[in-house]
Structure 1
Amino acid sequence: MTERETTRLVAWSRELRQVHARLREALDLIRGAVADGRAGDPATRELLLFCHGFCTALDGHHRGEDRTLFPAIEAAHPELGPVLRKLTQDHSMIAHLLGGLQAAVGRAAPVAELDRHLEGVAAIMESHFRYEERQLLGVLATLALDAPPEEVLGPL
């Protein structure tokens, strides 16, 4: 195995952790905007922009995993099929929660309601990320997948 091939293999594990870290940071920004009361200011588009960007990034990340990463993992490790199905099911649940959050932001819901939506997204997202990392980081360190990172892990 060449140094370039080894670097590419190890990079999938590192890339996934970096994407998760950026998504966690984005969610923290949104929660900060709500906590600071900026969500209730009709003149402020900041929360709407944060939410749209975060929701788009998280959805894109999950679509990339469902479309490219998970099939590659399952081809190389069929025994992980049940894990991948659970992760895909999580993606669907998170997409539903994001839809609720976007609707609440779009109608300028009260801060308490926005906070409940964000709390739900944060709880499921964190649980999902931790499970995914426990189950897949070792596999990703050896996965031979020749694809652009943004196709596999989303446009982050």
Structure 2
Amino acid sequence: MHPSNSPAGRLAAVGNQMIEIHLWLSAELARLRASPDTPSRDLRAHCLTFCAALGRHHTGEDAGAFHLLAEQVPELRPVIANLITDHQVVAGILERVEALLGGDTAVPVAQLRAELDGLAALLESHFRYEEKRLVTALNALTGQPGTTEDLLGLSAPPHVTR
């Protein structure tokens, strides 16, 4: 369900849209992890695109949804602090993945796979915790200016299923 374009409707289901974004990001990461052992130009491009999207999502949450929730639901501040810490750990992994893919030399496949496996494990836990603790509060946000992209860094992709 996607909300209407009215100011109240735009945020009526932002928690559900966060779940859709998480599902899409998880599916993209699974595609990367299932890629052949020989990195190609397409794999590099896909991986870097994924890293950028995940980074935008976490940056958007930190500045958008988390900021708004911290103001409106102060009891969530410790949860938000934990999630921001996770975002910093994820950013470090993304930097290492980008460094592995960024050079003109051969990609150390085992090291890349290890980073992607670690990222997948962390994100699985992070996404479930975030959803469990924030979806209800996010869905309760109404009448706020902005869009899902403003709050979550990305728009919910269409037709995502778990």
TM-score, normalising length: structure 1: 0.87
RMSD: 1.7
The size of the alignment, in residue pairs, is: 148
Aligned to 1:133: 131
SS in 2 for 1:155: coil
Partner of 2:146, secondary structure, is: coil
Q: What is the alpha-carbon distance in structure 2 between the residues aligned to residue 152 and residue 138 of structure 1? A: 15
- Contact preservation (8 Å) 2:56, 2:153: yes
How do 1:1-156 and structure 2 match up within 5 A? 7-33=9-35, 36-39=36-39, 44-107=40-103, 108-144=106-142, 145-156=144-155
Q: Which has the higher helix share?
A: 1
Q: Secondary structure at the match of 1:38?
A: coil
One-letter amino acid of the counterpart of residue 32, structure 1: A
Question: By how many angstroms is 1:10 displaced?
Answer: 3.4
Percent identical pairs in the alignment equals 37
Shift of 1:7: 4.3
Where relative contact order (Cα < 8 A, 6+ residues apart) is larger, the structure is 2
Structure 2 unmatched ranges of 5 or more: 156-162
- Return 5+ residue gaps in structure 1 as ranges: none
| 3-state SS, counterpart of residue 37 of structure 1 | coil
Partners of 1:37 and 1:88 lie apart in 2 by 32
TM-score, normalised to structure 2, is 0.84
Per the TM alignment, residue 68 of structure 1 is displaced from its structure 2 partner at its CA by 1.0
